[in-house]
Amino acid sequence: MKKLCYIIIFIFSITLVAAKLPVKITLTYNPKQGTSSVYEMHVKSFLTLNNINLKAVDLKLQNFITYMDFIFTNTVDKTANDGSITETLTYNSFKLEQEIMGMRTPINMGFDLAGKSFKTTTSKDGKLKNSKGFEALAPALQDLRLDNFFLQINPVFPQKAVKVGDAWNNETNSSLPIKNSLVKTNLKSTYTLQGFEKTGIHNCVIVGIEVSINTETIPVKQEHPDYVVDVTIKGNGAGKIFYDYEQSRIISSQITMNLKSIIKTTADTGSSKLDTDQRVEMNLKLTK
């Protein structure tokens, strides 16, 4: 009899917990003004060079591992009447290293991200509208914007309520000038509401993401081009995002990308081709 009571209480407690979870939910990006979130992000990239002719003893030189580790703070500055959010992203620390033949060494990018801040504007459905500040790092980055990147931090939300199992799509097109060429990127994303989960003190939705990437290069006509870069990247990826739907912020995410890249350069001195396979593992975690 006592065991039966325990079973009834257990089932009843599960029912109470389940009752707190919404059957359908409208997901939006609507953080409170003044909110600050500190994140750690770790990116690990495995790169293989496919068209390098090396002796058997040097085959290890065809494989590189790149580590990018940084901590950044995201602060909500203001919310506009249309619901768009203006934020400041500040890099607290940044470290970039490369491992070749078991030896891990730092990479000098020519500029330091640590201490640098950038402004972003995001719509209430999670889409990054614009960003400013990268041009202050180096002249070479004057045309670079965060929305040129393949993946943005926040998921993009549908314009309707969704339940577990529902999926929605998003497609973006961006361009990035490189020398005398314009590299255009098409990114297609499919999001799926996979479930609800209590993560510490956070009430989260689990959003699955599948992405596909395709780039093409369009030459820019000039009278005397010094060199032309032709970039082709194709790939796909998948992962999960744990999103606090009450506080409107990511708690954690894990995404893995598999990319095939071919980079051709043509100059007065000749031409070259770089053929690579790359796996990129990205892990993001809220720390406070």
| Closest alpha carbon to 96 in 133, 46, 43 | 43
For residue range 38-65, list pLDDT tens digits in order. Answer: 999 898 888 888 866 554 445 555 778 8
Q: 118: exposed, middle or buried (C-beta count within 10 Å: 0-12, 13-18, 19+)?
A: buried
Residues 33-41, mean pLDDT to the nearest whole number: 92
Determine, yes or no, domain membership for 259.
Answer: yes
Residue 254 — pLDDT band, cuts 50, 70, 90? very high
What is d(CA 283, CA 147) in angstroms, rounded to the nearest whole number?
19
Residues 226-252, mean pLDDT to the nearest whole number: 87
Determine, yes or no, domain membership for 1.
Answer: no
**Per-residue pLDDT at 131:** 75
Residue linked to tokens 């029912």: 15
In one letter, which amino acid is 96? L
> Coil, strand or helix: which one is 141?
helix
Determine, yes or no, domain membership for 261.
Answer: yes
Structure tokens at 252: 């954690």
**Per-residue pLDDT at 256:** 92
CB atoms closer than 10 angstroms to residue 218: 10
Determine, yes or no, domain membership for 96.
Answer: yes
Kindly report the pTM of this predicted structure: 0.80
Determine, yes or no, domain membership for 169.
Answer: yes
CB atoms closer than 10 angstroms to residue 160: 10
**Per-residue pLDDT at 22:** 60
Residue 176 — pLDDT band, cuts 50, 70, 90? low
For residue range 61-106, list pLDDT tens digits in order. Answer: 577 888 988 898 999 999 888 889 999 988 898 888 888 877 888 8
Residue 7 — pLDDT band, cuts 50, 70, 90? very low
Determine, yes or no, domain membership for 277.
Answer: yes
Spell out the alpha helix ranges (H) of the chain.
2-19
Question: Which residue segment(s) compose the domain that 94 sits in?
Answer: 31-286
**Per-residue pLDDT at 218:** 72
What is the tally of structural domains in the chain?
Answer: 1
**Per-residue pLDDT at 3:** 41
In one letter, which amino acid is 93? S
**Per-residue pLDDT at 58:** 53
**Per-residue pLDDT at 26:** 92
Give the domain CATH number at 240. Answer: 2.30.230
For residue range 94-149, list pLDDT tens digits in order. Answer: 888 888 877 888 877 666 778 888 888 888 888 888 777 765 555 444 444 444 44
pLDDT at 275 over 50: yes
Determine, yes or no, domain membership for 48.
Answer: yes
Determine, yes or no, domain membership for 16.
Answer: no
pLDDT at 227 over 90: no
What is d(CA 253, CA 284) in angstroms, rounded to the nearest whole number?
5
In one letter, which amino acid is 205? V
